[in-house]
């Protein structure tokens, strides 16, 4: 299982591109989120042809804004088989289809939609309303024989993800968590709220402007980890 980030910025940190990652997992090349900077980043890095599965944490534009471009490109330019979009709930699939129908008319022509239950080793954590009021959001946990990766998505209440992780068998776990350095940011997790959860896991922060990182923050930022960047 290998994860490479395509960007690590927050919604407005365009210098650091939208937070998204390409995960090699159980034979898939799974794109986690597809915000408005992701399609051009994939093309620029020559990685777009690798993407064969897609999973989204939520439908804010910095997480899904270039999905239609990616689907159209795969069909029209690459002429590759339809990518699989893994969806965590019927309701989320409906929302995603409404979003795509406006842009591509018939989403089924460009992607195969498959429910998450059909994939071994992926757990979704429903984080509804814990990033933005009334907004459906998810965290995901990916697991193979030797390792577990947790990906928070946008989340201001880290306890929901860590409660789930603490109920799982003890294996090497790496947590990628959104992070903010502003205590009054209610949509994301203030770094000090993550400190109690650092024991026993490898933790990295993303979805931030790394230049704002306070000197007393012990959580490593994905942005500075060369080996985690695509
Ligand atoms: Zn975001
Ligand atoms: Zn968001």
CA of 116 from ligand 2 middle (Å) equals: 21
What is the DSSP code (8-state) at residue 118? G
Q: Which of 6, 2, 66 is nearest to 29 (CA)?
A: 2
Q: What is the pLDDT along the chain (230 residues), one digit of tens a residue?
A: 999 999 999 999 999 999 999 999 999 999 999 999 999 999 999 999 999 999 999 999 999 999 999 999 999 999 999 999 999 999 999 999 999 999 999 999 999 999 999 999 999 999 999 999 999 999 999 999 999 999 999 999 999 999 999 999 999 999 999 999 999 999 999 999 999 999 999 999 999 999 999 999 999 999 999 999 99
CA of 166 from ligand 1 middle (Å) equals: 25
- Give the phi and the psi of residue 44 in degrees, each rounded to 5: -60, -40
Check residue 170 and give its pLDDT: 94
CA angle 22–25–31, rounded 5-degree value: 25
Q: Which residues are CB-neighbours of 9 under 8 A, at least 6 positions away?
A: 15, 16, 17, 18, 19, 207, 208, 209
Q: Helices H, strands E: what count in the chain?
A: 6, 12
Check residue 84 and give its pLDDT: 98
Contact 58, 20 (CB under 8 A): no
CA of 207 from ligand 1 middle (Å) equals: 7
Check residue 7 and give its pLDDT: 98
Contact 154, 140 (CB under 8 A): no
Check residue 52 and give its pLDDT: 98
Check residue 214 and give its pLDDT: 98
In CATH terms, is domain 2-228 a member of 3.10.580.10? no
CA of 120 from ligand 1 middle (Å) equals: 27
CA of 13 from ligand 1 middle (Å) equals: 10
CA of 33 from ligand 2 middle (Å) equals: 11
Check residue 223 and give its pLDDT: 98
**CA–CA separation, 143 and 141 (whole Å):** 7
What is the DSSP code (8-state) at residue 58? B
CA of 21 from ligand 1 middle (Å) equals: 13
- What DSSP string runs through 20-36? EEEEEETTEEEEE---T
């Amino acid at each position: 299982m290998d994860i490479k980030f395509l960007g690590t910025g927050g919604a407005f940190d365009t210098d650091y591109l939208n937070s998204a990652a390409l995960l090699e997992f159980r034979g898939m090349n799974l794109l986690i989120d597809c915000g408005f900077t992701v399609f051009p980043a994939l093309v620029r890095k020559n990685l777009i042809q690798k993407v064969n599965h897609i999973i989204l944490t939520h439908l804010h534009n910095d997480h899904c804004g270039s999905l239609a471009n990616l689907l159209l490109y795969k069909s029209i330019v690459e002429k590759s088989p339809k990518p699989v979009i893994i969806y965590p709930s019927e309701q989320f699939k409906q929302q995603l289809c409404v979003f795509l129908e406006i842009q591509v008319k018939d989403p089924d022509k460009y992607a195969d939609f498959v429910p998450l239950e059909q994939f071994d080793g992926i757990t979704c954590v429903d984080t509804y309303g814990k990033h933005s009021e009334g907004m459906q959001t998810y965290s995901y946990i990916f697991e193979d024989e030797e390792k577990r990766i947790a990906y928070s998505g946008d989340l201001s209440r880290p306890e929901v993800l860590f409660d789930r992780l603490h109920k799982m068998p003890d294996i090497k776990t790496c947590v990628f968590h959104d992070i903010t350095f502003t205590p009054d940011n209610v949509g994301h997790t203030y770094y000090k709220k993550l400190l109690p959860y650092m024991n026993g896991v490898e933790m990295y922060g993303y979805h931030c402007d790394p230049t704002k990182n306070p000197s007393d923050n012990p959580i490593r930022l994905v942005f500075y980890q060369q080996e985690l960047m695509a």
